[in-house]
Structure formats: structure tokens, C-alpha cells
Amino acid sequence: MKVLLALEDGRYFWGRSVGAPGERSGEVVFNTSMTGYGEILTDPSYRGQLVVLTASHIGNYGVAWEDLEAGHPWAEALLVRSFTDRPSNWRSEESLGEVLRRHNVMAAADIDTRALTRHIRQAGAMRGVLSTIDLDPESLVAKARSIPPMEGLDLASEVGTKERYEWREGMPAGFAMTWKNPGTSPGVHNAASLSSTPSLHTVVLDFGIKRNTLRRLVDLGSRVTVVPARTSADEILSLHPSGLLISNGPGDPATLGYAVDTIRQLIGKVPIFGICLGHQLLGQAFGARTYKLPFGHHGGNHPVIDTRDGHVRITAQNHGFAVDPDQLPTEVEVTEVSGNDGACEGLRHRELPAFSVQYHPEAGPGPHDGDEHLQRFVEIMREFWS
């Protein structure tokens, strides 16, 4: 079945449908990860986006359910060059095509992803429409121009939990990872097998949290409670948290004033760690503004530079907005910057236990370089309450 992708600037690309039929729209972005399409597809941060995968061959190893970051896909569509629906991997439980069709997610193969990626790099991320129904380029271009831009969209409220819940699952048994801290025990499904009475309690403000982040907190010895994005500061404090984790998520952080107010009230009362969108919200709570990047940072190979010692970390990223540090007070320092474009990648309050990183430290997918921040968060919580 033919499929057509049209961009708001008039450029269009033909392909072959390998997912569900229909029509989807959103912001078209590219991701440079070599592996991890299952995690990318189910990352809630991709709500409202059509994702171009720059890796040449997609679907080779199928889908293992325990790798997925949510119970269903959140990306609007996948755009790939070469696609296989016959996976070859001992962990595969379903083909990628089967997952896409079962969850009614569109995907296009045989797209000239190199040309598309180069175009986005030059012109910036833009609105697009993917369709198997309307194959008229002019009609689809007009539709692309009519959809709302990412600026001004509160998508986090669509993907976060609506009710509070406890998370108890650690890393899956036999998970092939070697973490930097040998004292923890990846490979347990139940927190009780790691510690019968975890001494820490992390409350997660959920704007689109990934499962691996929650699993990692459990493996580091914390009880975890996930709460909706609109939970008030008083409600969070009533849970007696050891610390607050502000999660990743999609959309424009400038639309989440209610969350910024909540975070501002909690700074200094409990240790705070912000991830990705959480970093942007903490930055706003500190006094900074956020702005839209030309084509965002999406992939598992982004270098960030520690401003204090020059150390470079390779990180997994997925965001289209960034923090402008020019309005930060003197008591807040920029701890990391992007090695590609110099964007702010980390913040830290010099006196209070509050810090953040723009990237995803849980390695789902991606390198493990950022895991030290989760360990640091746990250490800060222990020190704060000791």
C-alpha cells in the first residue's frame, strides 16, 4: 500500500505502508539511535511526533515486551528506510509490524530518510502529515500547514498518569546491563527482593515517565510513588517523600505554569531531580525561560560537556525545547552543555538540593553515562534526611 508524507514547506516523500492504514499528523523529527526502536516508539515524550529513524535497517530484532517504556506506543508514526517484518532474535516476542498494526500506529518504509533528515537539519523540524488515504501532495501539504505547531501545546497532560500509583518492579531478570555501581542488583522484578524495607521514598511527578527510570530507582533502593502532573505541593509533601523526581515528557514546557508553581514551592523542602522536560520545568522554576530548538536533540549519541571539569558524557536525548540560562540567578549554575550546539544540558542550585539534566539517564535506549545522576540523586536524598 502506498503512503505519502507531506511537509508544511511543500516537500513530500513517497513510501510503502508497513503499519496501520489511515492518516496521522504532527511534528516530523529525526532520531539518530542505531538501536532501540521499541523504546523510542513507546517513549511518551514522542507524543505528537512522526519519528524518522536514521538507522538503515529497522525491525531486525523484533520486539521484546520488557524493553518497552510504556504499555503502548506514543509516537504518531515511524518513518524508515529499510523495514523487515521477519525478526531474527532469541528475545523477540512479536515483530515490529505486528506491534504497529495491533496498536493502530502508522509506519512508512522505503522513505528516503537520508534526504528527509538532511532537509530537517537545514529547514528545521516542521509539521507533516502521513497518509494512505489522501495521496494528493497538494492536499496533504495544506493539511500539514493547518495543524497546530508544537509551540503552545500541553501534551504532557495527555500522557501522564491520571491517578497515583506505587511502582515496585526493578530491572527485568537477566537484563544485559553492567551498571557502574556494583552494590545494586539489576535483575530483580520485585523491590522486596532487593530490600524488604526501602529506606527512601521517591515521589515522581509524571509528565510521561519511562519505565526504566522507575525500575532504576527501585534497584537503587527506593520506594516509588508516581503522581499526576497536577498534584499540588501540599499533596506531595503529605506523602512524606525523601525526594521528588520531575519526569520527562512531550510538548512545550512554557504551557505548564501550574507545574512550575508546584516545583517552585518545593525547592529547598525536599531534594529535587529533573529529567528532560523536568529539567526545563526546574529551569523555569529557577527563573529561566525556555525556547524551541531548530530540530531538537533526538538520539542515543549526543555528547554533553561538564562545565566544571570538561568531562564528556555520551547521552540519550529526546527534546525539542531547551532552557535559556541567561535569566538564571547567580545561585544556579549551568553544569553541562551540548557538545553539538552549546545548549544547556544541566543545572544545579549551589546551595539547595535541586539539580537537573536535559538528557535521559536511564539508558532506555542509550548509553549508561547518565546513570551516575540517578545514583547522585539517591545519595543526596540519604544525606538530606540523615
d(CA 4, CA 75): 18
Degrees to nearest 5, angle at CA 218 with 214 and 223? 100
State CA 288 to chain mean position distance. 21
8, 27, 69, 362: the catalytic one is 362
Peptide bond just before 365 cis, omega within 30 deg: yes
Q: Catalytic annotation on 138?
A: no
Amino acid identity, position 143: K
Sign of the Cα pseudo-torsion (247, 249, 254, 258, in order): negative
Q: Catalytic annotation on 201?
A: no
Radius of gyration for the alpha carbons in the chain, expressed in angstroms and rounded: 20
276, 298, 319, 345: the catalytic one is 276
Q: Catalytic annotation on 344?
A: no
Amino acid identity, position 337: V
C-beta of residue 46 within 8 angstroms of C-beta of residue 318: yes
Is 226 strand, coil or helix? strand
The residues, ordered by sequence, that sit 6+ positions from 269 with a Cβ below 8 Å of its Cβ are 237
Q: Catalytic positions, please? A: 276, 360, 362
